[in-house]
């Protein structure tokens, strides 16, 4: 994995795969190498260069992270490119859509939101309280909590698959130490999106607790050229639970002819 030095010396790691028009993928949170198992191969297979960015967790507020993202895209030297963001990474991409239209051609926002809501606010406060206490719950507890929060009920019904997920989450908990302070804030982004003119696809997941589908639909409705699609039978990690459907929607949108 290569490294960019941006924002006064901060390090942003990135990885490139494939060749062709560039697509930059941003995920803040999620299992390590979030995009590598499914989305990167799908993009590379149809003639894109997939560039995954790993922003530093402790970079600061959302506006600062958005600036780091903009600096990173500029340093990559791709010119205007496709953008894909997941969860908080999608909120950072939304900042670029508003403030740096010169950096992108079209964008896919996955499991995103444009405003605070009571459940999301409660989760953010709980995670910050856990971080402030310096607490490290036992790995099996962390694994179960992550599975409840991020996976859809159909995955829980497949007993062998859910055991694999719990093993994956527990392995991450054993190496991760105290959970990091969650990034970002709950500021409202919807008003700023009204001035974004480029094409944007918003993907929501039917059983997403972290970014409920109705909040993603609001983002699409705020965008003049936004469209919304909901992926059924999955939770917040729908990119990993339903990768074929997600990849079909993402690649199809990125490859569609530019409207005249």
CA atoms within 13 A on the CB side of 128: 10
87: annotated active-site residue: yes
131: left (phi over 0), alpha (psi -120 to 50) or beta: alpha
Active-site residue identified among 38, 63, 87, 99:
87
Q: Nearest 5°: CA angle at 81, between 111 and 116?
A: 25
Q: Please give the C-alpha separations between residue 90 and each of 31, 96, 141, 142, 189, in angstroms, as whole numbers.
A: 16, 10, 28, 24, 12
Sequence-ordered alpha helix ranges (H) in 198-242:
213-222, 238-241
* 130 three-class SS: helix
Locus of tokens 């719950």:
137
Active-site residue identified among 19, 38, 164, 236:
236
Active-site residue identified among 131, 194, 208, 255:
208
236: annotated active-site residue: yes
Helix axes 62-76, 88-99, angle to 10 degrees: 70
- Distance in angstroms (rounded) separating the CA atoms of residues 145 and 33: 20
* 12 three-class SS: strand
Closest CA to 187 of 114, 100, 90, 97: 114
131: annotated active-site residue: no
- Report, as residue numbers or ranges, the catalytic residues: 87, 208, 236
């Amino acid at each position: 994995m290569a490294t960019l030095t941006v924002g006064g010396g901060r390090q942003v790691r990135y990885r490139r795969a494939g060749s062709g028009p560039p697509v930059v993928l941003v995920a803040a949170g999620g299992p390590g190498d979030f995009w590598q198992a499914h989305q990167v191969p799908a993009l590379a297979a149809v003639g894109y260069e997939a560039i995954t960015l790993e922003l530093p967790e402790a970079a600061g507020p959302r506006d600062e992270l958005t600036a780091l993202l903009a600096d990173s895209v500029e340093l990559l030297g791709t010119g205007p490119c496709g953008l894909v963001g997941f969860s908080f990474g999608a909120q950072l991409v939304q900042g670029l859509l508003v403030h740096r239209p010169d950096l992108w051609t079209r964008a896919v926002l996955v499991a995103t939101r444009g405003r605070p809501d009571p459940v999301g606010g409660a989760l953010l406060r709980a995670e910050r309280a856990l971080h402030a206490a310096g607490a490290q719950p036992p790995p099996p507890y962390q694994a179960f909590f992550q599975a409840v929060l991020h996976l859809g009920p159909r995955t829980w019904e497949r007993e062998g698959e859910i055991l694999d997920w719990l093993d994956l989450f527990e392995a991450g908990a054993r190496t991760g130490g105290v959970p990091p302070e969650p990034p970002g804030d709950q500021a409202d982004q919807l008003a700023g999106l009204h001035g974004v003119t480029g094409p944007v696809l918003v993907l929501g997941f039917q059983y997403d607790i972290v970014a409920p589908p109705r909040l993603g639909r609001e983002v699409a409705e705020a965008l003049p050229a936004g469209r919304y699609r909901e992926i059924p039978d999955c939770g917040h990690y729908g990119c990993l639970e339903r990768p074929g459907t997600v990849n079909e929607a993402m690649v199809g949108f990125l490859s569609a002819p530019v409207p005249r």
